[in-house]
Amino acid sequence: MNELSQYPVVHEQVVAWGDMDAFGHVNNVLYYRYIESARIRYLDELNIFAEKIYTVVASSQCKYLSPVFYPDTLKIGVRVDEIRNSAFRMSYLLWSCTQEKVVATAEAVMVVVDAEQLKKKTIPAHIKQKIIELEQRAGHSIGI
């Protein structure tokens, strides 16, 4: 589980019986829900929901490396790998406690939007600073 050490936020996700599909493994759509929960936990660490901005997923992808089955618990590492003017790129690592290995990786580009005008907005400097500080606590350097 050393792979998670460079991720400042690790979300624990219990796999429910109903998460499996007709093929007997966790349905691929559920990975995006798991990732969303991990992302919200990271954004909570930034206290970003108290701001007058929204964060919108501009793009996302997931690489499925191994199927996941009930029962299991996933530890989902979340970090920001790059900060841009009005967006940041997050990456995720999904670790299966049962299989003791990485079962998926993912990333998403988040765009900051003004809550009133619903237009792209520059990331506030104090939010950028919070991201940098959060990443530094995990020993992760970030691209700016």
Tell me which amino acid residue 126 is. H
Residue 104 has what pLDDT? 98
Residue 1 has what pLDDT? 67
The Cα 9–Cα 26 span in angstroms is 23
The Cα 84–Cα 44 span in angstroms is 20
80: its two tokens:
């920001």
Residue 2 has what pLDDT? 87
Residue 142 has what pLDDT? 87
Using the structure block, give the residue that is written with the tokens 């108290």.
50
Residue 34 has what pLDDT? 98
Edge-to-edge strand order for the sheet containing 87-96? 9-14, 73-83, 87-96, 101-114, 53-64
Q: What is the CATH number of domain 2-129?
A: 3.10.129.10
Residue numbers in the chain where pLDDT is lower than 70:
1, 143-144
Residue 9 has what pLDDT? 98
Give CA angle at 25 (8, 21), nearest 5°. 115
